[in-house]
Amino acid sequence: MEKYKKLLEIAKNSLKYSYSPYSNFSVGAALLLKNGDIITGVNVENASYGLGICAERVAVVKAISEGNKEFEAIAIVSGKIKNCFPCGSCLQFMSEFSQDLDIILEGENNEPIVKKIKEFLPYMFSGKMLNFEP
């Protein structure tokens, strides 16, 4: 549980980089790779709202672009609320790379809440449905 507390703290520290001038809803994420490395991400908004990207997807894209595809956990925090759940798009996006991912949320007393991605997205769409398994 200590490593997940650390992951939450790293996600909180990344909040200062969030670009969220329209919603004022900053989100930070810290992605723990199976090799022990941690990749952060923040939400980045755009005046054309649909072009924004969530913190979780930023972290995953950074990891993939650096050659990392094995994820253990992701911590997600918001500057506004506790227990900041990932959106459906992020859940589907993350499930592409790990269908057993631990999602770490910040509880009311700053203790980690640990859930499996399958708890949020039990019927995830996968390459198996396309008769293709990368």
Q: Is 111 a catalytic residue?
A: no
DSSP 54-94: -HHHHHHHHHHHTT---EEEEEEEESS-SS-PPPHHHHHHH
Token pair, residue 73, equals 């956990």
In angstroms, the CA 64 to CA 89 distance is: 17
Catalytic option among 9, 56, 66, 70: 56
Q: Chain-centre distance of CA 17, in angstroms?
A: 15
Q: Is residue 8 within 8 Å of residue 77, measured between CB atoms? A: yes
Q: Residues with catalytic annotation?
A: 56
